[in-house]
Structure 1
Amino acid sequence: MKDYTDIKQRLRGSITPVVTPFKQNYDIDFEKQSELIEFQLDNGTHAISVTGTSGEPSSLTIEERVQVMENAMRTINGRVPFAPGTGSTNHDETMYLTKRAEEMGADAAMVIVPYYNKPNQHALYKHFKTVADAVQIPIIIYNIPGRTAVNMEVDTMARLVQDCPNIIGAKESNKDFEHVNRVLQRCGRDFLLFSGIELLCYPMLAIGGAGSISATANVLPSKVADMHDAWEEGDLKRAQDLHFELMQLNDVLFKDTNPAPVKAALGMMGKIEPVLRLPMDLPTEALQQEIRETLDVYGIATQRA
């Protein structure tokens, strides 16, 4: 049986789910993607993910998702762990993408609970077990009921962890804090629990969480990474202060569907062209103005319209 001790020790802290930048003609801008990853690494981010919710995977073809993963893998070049999102609403696509992540040498694969088709708990178990059994790459379950319309229940997750040694953690984008407590209780205190809810990133550390996979880290990676560093160093007051300091930015970046506000902010910062593929689009002009004003509060340089 493969030993997952090393990756469970390394895959911690702020894992940024990097957006997928597009050009004005909607082609993927791989040069900008590499620049975004370098921006993250320069600002202390502990690991990188792509093609999760923030990466607009449902707006990419399967071939494009592989290309985004490969470009990220080349750019990171082993400097930090890499855990791309490989899940889909389609089982065979999930199998294919997870195997490709393993083949290219990714450190883990983040597999979302299938969205739209609303499988029951038994079907969820079969889906994830079939994927996990087909590979040896570590799997992080991505539970985001607000986007998938179904919640992976604690019993289902615990059963998968018991039956699949390579399921090592979960990203819980679940506002039910009782649920996430019970995930650790049932799955084991060494289970890697990552917060996908920005206002729960700090509280989840307090119960034994491994870190966060926060869209906000696209915009202000240093502060998100600093919060985790402070926690690890035992400076709980500083970690708590950073938690509250980030709250205004967290709030404004989720006043519209992720990643629209994040891409608007990155556009204002001159990091990318602020382009999303339909059916997604940028926030209203009023919200964009609020985002710009919030970036000013944080001292983030913006390009004036």
Structure 2
Amino acid sequence: MTTSAEGPRYKGVFPVAPTIFDARGELDLQGQCRAIDFMIDAGSNGICILANFSEQFSLTDAERDAVAETVLKHVADRVPVIVTTSHFSPRICAERSARAEALGAAMVMVMPPYHGATFRVGEPGIYDFFRTVSDAISIPIMIQDAPVAGTPLSPEFLARMAKEIEQVSYFKIETAMAAAKLRRLIELGGTAIEGPWDGEEAITLMPDLDAGATGAMTGGGYPDGIRQILDPYVAGDREAAMQAYERWLPLINYENRQCGLLACKALMKEGGVIACEDARAPLAPLHPATRAGLIELASRLDAMVLKWGK
């Protein structure tokens, strides 16, 4: 898969949508649609669903299908949607990916196979895993290189898969020293690396952009803020991008280090986007003081999420 003369097909801010539950812990699909509408109104260039920040690990297969079907129908091609299809089994991951494509997904995001603290697969198995998924679909695969998988993925190995496996062409790099890894991946992979992307709530966004990142997959609470960083950078105004990064970094850091996936839901509840901010058990709610700190930082920045639903 190579980049066209016009550049990568997908670039910009593609935040992860939370999965919305009601107070009983059941899917709230109406709230899900409101969350998606907010994220589009806030400037998302695209959206990712069913990722780790979507609590994909808490969903049944039927719930996954319900979320994917609802979101893709509701988005109605307003923006491209990435569907996370990670699974330990290549067969199941391939089936999930083919189903996502049939529903209208623009791309699938997949972690390397892992389970628990000790089940890992070596490079030959990982290569065959992604080849199996690629053979089942005709849309791009984004490899999510995240610490949660506990699986080392060298730039050399990632570049090799990009060159040899047809649909492997996007990479979300969330490991330590992400910028150095992105730079090396681009150097080794050339045009086979269609989408070198930043992740981890954009906490390393500026160095990652400097390294060549063309996309950012963040939390879903403030796409408008991430656009304030990325847009001037792409336009060639690095100084304006750096100033925006300095403004938004305290909130980005607070989400990354204090709140995790609960930040987006708390912000959406505070702004009237959704009715319930609860994660699914056994995840505990934010401490009230932690939540108050989050809202204070977002208020200082006049984040759209705090007024969208009011």
TM-score of the superposed pair, with normalisation by structure 1: 0.90
Q: Deviations over 1:108-129 (max 9, x none)?
A: 1111223433222222212111
2:291 to 288, 291, 294: 288
| Secondary structure of the corresponding residue to residue 84 of structure 1 | strand
2:215 to 208, 211, 216: 211
| Secondary structure of the corresponding residue to residue 182 of structure 1 | helix
| Secondary structure of the corresponding residue to residue 80 of structure 1 | coil
Aligned equivalent of 2:95: 96
| Secondary structure of the corresponding residue to residue 144 of structure 2 | strand
Aligned equivalent of 1:56: 55
Superposition pairs for residues 19-58 of structure 1, below 5 Å? 19-58=18-57
Structure 1 residues 186, 4: CA separation in 2 closer, same or farther (over 3 Å shift)? closer
Structure 1 residues 7, 279: CA separation in 2 closer, same or farther (over 3 Å shift)? farther
Q: Does structure 2 conserve the Cα–Cα contact (< 8 Å) formed by 1:15 and 1:45?
A: yes
Equivalent-residue separation in structure 1 for 2:4 and 2:61 (angstroms): 31
The answer to whether the aligner puts 1:108 opposite 2:107 as a matched pair is: yes
Superposition pairs for residues 134-283 of structure 1, below 5 Å? 134-145=136-147, 147-176=148-177, 177-189=179-191, 190-197=193-200, 198-215=202-219, 218-256=220-258, 258-272=260-274, 273-283=276-286
Aligned AA (1:24): A
Q: Which moved more, 1:278-287 or 1:30-39?
A: 278-287
Structure 1 residues 188, 4: CA separation in 2 closer, same or farther (over 3 Å shift)? closer
Q: Does structure 2 conserve the Cα–Cα contact (< 8 Å) formed by 1:7 and 1:107?
A: no
Structure 1 residues 20, 6: CA separation in 2 closer, same or farther (over 3 Å shift)? farther
C-alpha deviation, 1:224, in angstroms = 0.9
Q: Does structure 1 conserve the Cα–Cα contact (< 8 Å) formed by 2:180 and 2:211?
A: no
Q: Deviations over 1:155-208 (max 9, x none)?
A: 221221121121111111112232222111112155311101322222222222
TM-score of the superposed pair, with normalisation by structure 2: 0.89
C-alpha deviation, 1:98, in angstroms = 0.5
Equivalent-residue separation in structure 1 for 2:295 and 2:277 (angstroms): 13
Equivalent-residue separation in structure 2 for 1:137 and 1:8 (angstroms): 17
Equivalent-residue separation in structure 2 for 1:257 and 1:77 (angstroms): 31
Aligned AA (2:261): P
Structure 1 residues 257, 112: CA separation in 2 closer, same or farther (over 3 Å shift)? farther
Q: Which moved more, 1:96-105 or 1:225-234?
A: 225-234
Structure 1 residues 225, 107: CA separation in 2 closer, same or farther (over 3 Å shift)? same
Q: Does structure 1 conserve the Cα–Cα contact (< 8 Å) formed by 2:171 and 2:195?
A: yes
Aligned AA (1:129): R
Aligned equivalent of 1:81: 80
Equivalent-residue separation in structure 2 for 1:124 and 1:281 (angstroms): 34
Equivalent-residue separation in structure 1 for 2:65 and 2:227 (angstroms): 27
Aligned AA (1:259): L
User: Is there any run of 5+ residues in structure 2 with no aligned partner, and where?
Assistant: none
Structure 1 residues 6, 29: CA separation in 2 closer, same or farther (over 3 Å shift)? farther
C-alpha deviation, 1:257, in angstroms = 6.0
Equivalent-residue separation in structure 2 for 1:256 and 1:279 (angstroms): 18
Equivalent-residue separation in structure 2 for 1:212 and 1:21 (angstroms): 22
Structure 1 residues 295, 257: CA separation in 2 closer, same or farther (over 3 Å shift)? closer
Aligned equivalent of 1:299: 302
Higher RCO, Cα 8 Å, sep 6+: 2
